[in-house]
């Protein structure tokens, strides 16, 4: 993904000695907050003004007219009780965005306390979505040793970019009695986060997003619709009573009908997802007695129109559940779905699917009865992409001859 124009200021030219910005002096001392280029962010946890600040220091510059004097003294704080005083100064190239990534280097363990200048650099690649590149220096928890000299300085801060990798270079000098918790230079990348699978928002390129990256719940770890897995999923709401009828005696006019009712736990409308205002996908999965998938149907019609008159496919049954109707049977032959919530022992899911040769309707998968031929039972699961699944094991087989399969539970 190409960076926005605002974040490409360094592509055509390096930014040399950021501290020499004409307005930098306006952000020095205690109390000033910003100027044309730099922003000063200080924290005075003990309420003592001047407990933390940055100060322009031309008398301590390595080159040029301006150097940066770190001052972030603990002041009157209570060690171990109050958070450390801190001061951060930063300059943005670009505008807007939230923090995407940050890279920094702590100079404390690197700089000798000998009053000499040493050069350091930190680099980072701008992630996709970057709008702003921020150069910063930060001092956290400086201690007033009540001895002189006790200072630290920065100078000659330069920013360059090559191949999308930004590098901040700075010179740092530490005098003998200076100590702090951390002295940082770094780069922050701000912008618009890339769409992510698992954020409960169906972004372009995603078929579903149920707020997690767990496979086996109807929406895969890659946010692709899982119609049915190779074996039954676990954790479904169990129906006490169920029936399944597959009739394929006449090619081109196959029929499938099923009912699940009397759920073992209380159900609410939310347990069926939201195919009206949301993105819920329904999957019907039928397994044989060995747990092998015999048939799968998917209804991905949330918020869409169905039938020759273009009516809403899904409608809410007040606060009880939902109904689905499609006279064209265009989603794997599904014509009707009805869901109803209720107390434990109540609740119901029914559906009907069919092919109709006279209407050129042929989307219902065929060969289901043949796939169940010889099976002593069938497991029926109705799963939603972003809510619960419902199931029953139909162990009482009434018809099983390869073109018909009829069973019920109990």
Mind listing the pLDDT tens digit for each residue in 226-251?
A: 778 788 989 999 999 999 999 999 99
**pLDDT tens, residue by residue, 162-208:** 888 999 999 998 888 877 888 999 999 999 888 888 888 878 888 77
Confidence at residue 46, expressed as pLDDT on a 0 to 100 scale: 59
Confidence at residue 357, expressed as pLDDT on a 0 to 100 scale: 95
Domain shared by 330 and 213, yes or no: no
Classify 333 in phi/psi space as left (phi over 0), alpha (psi -120 to 50) or beta.
Answer: left
Domain shared by 160 and 300, yes or no: no
Count structural domains, the chain: 3
- Distances in Å between the Cα of 312 and the Cα atoms of 109, 309, 382 are 66, 9, 21
Q: Which alpha helices (H) appear in 63-161, and where do they start and end? A: none
Domain shared by 160 and 255, yes or no: no
Establish if 213 belongs to a structural domain.
yes
Establish if 22 belongs to a structural domain.
yes
Confidence at residue 259, expressed as pLDDT on a 0 to 100 scale: 98
Q: Return the ∠ at Cα 306 (arms to 300 and 309), rounded to 5°.
A: 170
pLDDT average per 10 residues of sequence, the chain (410 residues): 30 52 48 57 64 61 77 62 78 88 94 89 92 90 76 85 89 84 93 84 80 76 80 93 97 97 97 94 95 93 92 95 97 97 96 96 96 95 92 96 96
Listed residue (4, 3, 66) closest to 37, CA to CA: 66
Which residue, of 133, 166, 191, is where some domain finishes? 191
Establish if 167 belongs to a structural domain.
yes
Domain shared by 22 and 87, yes or no: yes
Domain shared by 217 and 301, yes or no: no
Domain shared by 201 and 253, yes or no: no
Domain shared by 241 and 149, yes or no: no
Establish if 140 belongs to a structural domain.
yes
Confidence at residue 92, expressed as pLDDT on a 0 to 100 scale: 86
Q: Which domain holds residue 364?
A: 237-409
Domain shared by 254 and 211, yes or no: no
Beta-carbon contacts of residue 5 (< 8 Å; ≥ 6 apart)? none
Establish if 282 belongs to a structural domain.
yes
Confidence at residue 354, expressed as pLDDT on a 0 to 100 scale: 97
Confidence at residue 34, expressed as pLDDT on a 0 to 100 scale: 42
Give backbone dihedrals phi and psi of 103, rounded to 5 degrees, phi first: -125, 140
Listed residue (283, 294, 167) closest to 226, CA to CA: 283
Instruction: Report cis status (omega within 30 of 0) of the bond before 35.
Output: no
Domain shared by 164 and 249, yes or no: no
Listed residue (320, 324, 341) closest to 333, CA to CA: 324
Establish if 231 belongs to a structural domain.
no
- Contact between 224 and 201 under an 8 Å Cβ cutoff? The reply is no
Domain shared by 282 and 402, yes or no: yes
DSSP 3-state helix, strand, coil percentages of the chain (rounded to 5)? 5, 45, 50
User: Which pTM was predicted?
Assistant: 0.53
Confidence at residue 1, expressed as pLDDT on a 0 to 100 scale: 24
Establish if 232 belongs to a structural domain.
no
Confidence at residue 118, expressed as pLDDT on a 0 to 100 scale: 93
Confidence at residue 107, expressed as pLDDT on a 0 to 100 scale: 93
């Amino acid at each position: 993904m190409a960076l926005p124009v605002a974040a490409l200021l360094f592509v055509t030219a390096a930014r040399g000695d950021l501290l020499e910005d004409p307005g930098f002096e306006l952000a020095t001392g205690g109390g000033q907050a910003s100027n044309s280029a730099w922003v000063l962010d200080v924290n005075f946890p003990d309420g003592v003004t001047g407990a933390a600040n940055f100060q322009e220091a031309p008398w301590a510059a390595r080159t040029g007219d301006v150097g940066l004097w770190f001052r972030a003294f603990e002041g009157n704080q209570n060690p171990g009780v109050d958070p450390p005083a801190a001061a951060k100064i930063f300059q943005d190239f670009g505008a807007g965005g939230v923090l995407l990534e940050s890279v920094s280097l702590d100079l404390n363990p690197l700089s000798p306390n000998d009053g000499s200048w040493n050069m350091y650099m930190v680099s980072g690649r701008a992630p996709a979505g970057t709008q702003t590149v921020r150069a910063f220096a930060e001092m956290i928890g400086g201690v007033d040793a009540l001895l002189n000299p006790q200072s630290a300085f920065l100078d000659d801060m330069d920013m360059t970019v090559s191949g999308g990798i930004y590098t901040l270079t700075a010179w740092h000098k530490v005098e003998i009695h200076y100590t702090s918790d951390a002295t940082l230079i770094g780069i922050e990348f701000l912008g618009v986060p890339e769409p992510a699978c698992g954020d409960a928002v169906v972004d372009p390129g995603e078929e579903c997003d149920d707020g997690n990256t767990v496979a086996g719940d109807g929406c895969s770890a890659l946010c692709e619709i899982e119609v049915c897995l190779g074996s039954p999923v676990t954790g479904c709401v169990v129906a006490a009573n169920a029936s399944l009828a597959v009739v394929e005696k006449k090619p081109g006019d196959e029929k499938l009908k099923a009912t699940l009712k009397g759920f073992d736990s209380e159900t609410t409308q939310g347990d069926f997802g939201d195919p009206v205002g949301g993105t819920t996908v329904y999957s019907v999965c039928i397994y044989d007695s060995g747990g092998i998938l015999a048939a799968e149907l998917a209804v991905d019609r949330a918020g869409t129109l169905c039938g020759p008159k273009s009516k809403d496919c899904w409608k809410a049954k007040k606060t009880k559940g939902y109904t689905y109707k499609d006279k064209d049977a265009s989603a794997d032959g599904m014509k009707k779905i009805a869901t109803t919530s209720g107390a434990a022992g109540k609740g119901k899911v029914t559906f009907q699917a069919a092919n109709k040769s006279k209407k050129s309707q042929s989307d219902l998968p065929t060969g289901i009865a043949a796939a169940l031929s010889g099976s002593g039972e069938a497991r029926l699961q109705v799963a939603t992409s972003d809510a619960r699944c419902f199931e029953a094991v139909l162990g009482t087989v009434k018809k099983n001859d390869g073109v018909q399969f009829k069973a019920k539970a109990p």
